[in-house]
Structure 1
Amino acid sequence: MLPEYSKRPPAPTLVKMRSFGIGEGSTVPISVATGLAILFLWWLLAQSGWVAHLFLPTPAEVITMAQSIWDDGYANATLWEHVSASLARILSAAAIAITLGIPVGLLMGLNRWAKGVLDTPIEFYWPLPPLAYLPLMIIWLGIGEASKITLLTLAMFAPIVLSAQAGVRALPMERVNAALSLGASRWQLFTQVVLPSALPEILTGIRIALGVGWGTLVAAELIAANRGIGYLIMSASHFLATDAVFVGIAIIAVCAFGFTVAMRLLEGRLVPWKGKN
């Protein structure tokens, strides 16, 4: 019989931690199934005759109209001319809003004078619907591209500024004190501590701003434009071409989804630590 000290201790029991929230599993299959269910419900309602095809065309009719617009264009312009006009406006305004908004937001987060001076005008116009001051843009700048791009820039500027400011405000003081105790200069503190810590909030603000920008863009094109996806939808609505309206909505959805995917890839590249604290 072996002595007591020579016996092996029992193997430890491993306990799997319970997941919290959405867990680690992919939500892609759920999203795909939800999309297919929506398409099936749409097809069922259109085929059942409960809703007239004038108001709810079938998916097949929408696909046929999409092919027609692809081949022949719509509203005196090709499909690419409509899409490129909208993309040029949204990208130009986004570039201006990002270039101006990030420095302003960082400055407001770091300097109380900058926050005191700039916070009032931004908080004043930010809750206003962009269409409320669209007539003012048209009066000041005309119905050309300048008024649309200015309107879009204003719509996207505030979310970017506020997100950059929030990112700076959320910076733990322990990181700042640790960097200063190690002899970091002000520039090193900003570039290596403040900016990386605020970057997740900034990227989230840009995603929100792009969503606001798309809604504002289509509304602006409904009023004063002769090219663009919004103009295509408005022209189709005048002739009760509901299938063409659905095509325009689908184009907006595809473009906005592409922007969202691009921003998520950018977040994964620039802030891989986000959500893993």
Structure 2
Amino acid sequence: MPKLKSLSISLTTTVIIIVAWALLTSFHIISPVMLPSPARVFKTFLNLCSLGYNGIPLYQHYLITLGRLLVAVGLAIMVGIPVGLLSGYAPTIRAVVDPLIQFIRPIPPLAYYTLLILWLGIGEPSKITLLFLAALPPIYLSCFDAVIKIDEELVRSASSLGASRRQVFFHIIFPSALPDIFTGIRSATGVAYTTIVSAEMIAASAGIGWMIIDASHYLKSDVMFVGIIVLGITGLLLDWLIKLTENRFIHWRGKHA
């Protein structure tokens, strides 16, 4: 019942925003260049689906952006989870890795994007690397903190019963850290997602982020709104899928491991 109430409130809020948006544009309170009407944005969306933008169909722009994001986040998961868990479990690995991550973490991705282009060129490697570096620290830190806060009594009890370090890691530490790992994946996906427009800002010719930037040069606010709405809906769906997966597999969340 609370979920149904929350959903109804969210839908009502969305309807109110759309109605207010339509009223503002229908009475010309705001210039259509600054704020196109919902009808115009929807018509532009249909035109982009059929005619494309810059000769490329909208779905291809979308798939290019989504592909860059998923590859980068996937690589960050493959690197960040084992490195974060091992850093929390093994002081030697922590001493090597943690300073590097802590150095990268506060730097805005655009600060080193030009270096990545210089080193890797203007193609996909520089864009994916930028998103990867944006997504890596949140996953690493979540995994690291998850291991640090595990009850030492559990580890000592398992060791006293004859469990090896490998068994302790895979049967106690990893299951206990899984809820925090999913939290880190959600955070990393969000951080990488907010960086996608920056990644497609320079030396790109396709992608939703590039489409938004290119449209801004010609004051095509309707195209910009289509891109922003597509990105927003996709972000909501990605977060929902991660939470759904977490609820499906992490049934012990909030319980003592």
**Both proteins in one fold, TM over 0.5:** yes
The counterpart of 2:161, out of the listed 165, 172, 182, is 182
Query: Deviations for 1:44-103, whole angstroms, at most 9, x for unmatched residues?
Result: 222222211110011111000000001110122111210111111111111111111111
State which of 5, 19, 25 in structure 1 corresponds to 2:2: 25
Q: Does 1:268 align with 2:252?
A: no
Structure 1 spans left out of the alignment, 5+ residues? 1-23
How do 1:1-277 and structure 2 match up within 5 A?
25-26=2-3, 27-275=6-254
Shift of 1:176: 1.7
- Is the Cα–Cα contact under 8 Å of residues 75 and 235 in structure 1 kept in the other structure? no
- The two structures have a TM-score, normalised by structure 1, of 0.88
How far has the Cα of 1:276 moved from its partner?
A: 5.7
Structure with greater proportional helix content: 2
Quote the offset at 1:177 in angstroms.
Answer: 2.7
In structure 2, what residue type is equivalent to 1:25? Answer: P
Partners of 2:40 and 2:253 lie apart in 1 by: 43
Separation in 2, partners of 1:247, 1:129? 27
Deviates more, 1:97-106 or 1:109-118: 109-118
Greater C-alpha radius of gyration: 1
Distance in 1 separating the partners of 2:255 and 2:228: 36
Aligned equivalents of 1:178, 1:215: Cα separation in 2: 43
**RMSD over equivalenced CA pairs, Å:** 1.4
> Helix, strand or coil for the counterpart of 1:248?
helix
SS of structure 1 residue aligned to 2:2: coil
Residue 18 of structure 1 corresponds to which residue in structure 2? none
Instruction: Report how many residues are paired.
Output: 254
| CA apart distance, 1:230 | 0.8
Q: Distance in 2 between matches of 1:182 and 1:28?
A: 49
Inter-partner Cα distance in structure 2 for 1:70 and 1:181 = 63
TM-score (norm 2): 0.94
Q: By how many angstroms is 1:236 displaced?
A: 1.3
What SS does the corresponding residue of 1:222 show, helix, strand or coil?
coil
SS at match of 2:246: helix
CA distance in 1 between counterparts of 2:228 and 2:126 reads: 23
User: 1:276 and 1:197, CA in 2 relative to 1: closer, same or farther beyond 3 A?
Assistant: closer
Give, in angstroms, the shift of residue 114 of structure 1.
1.6
Letter in 2 for 1:44: L
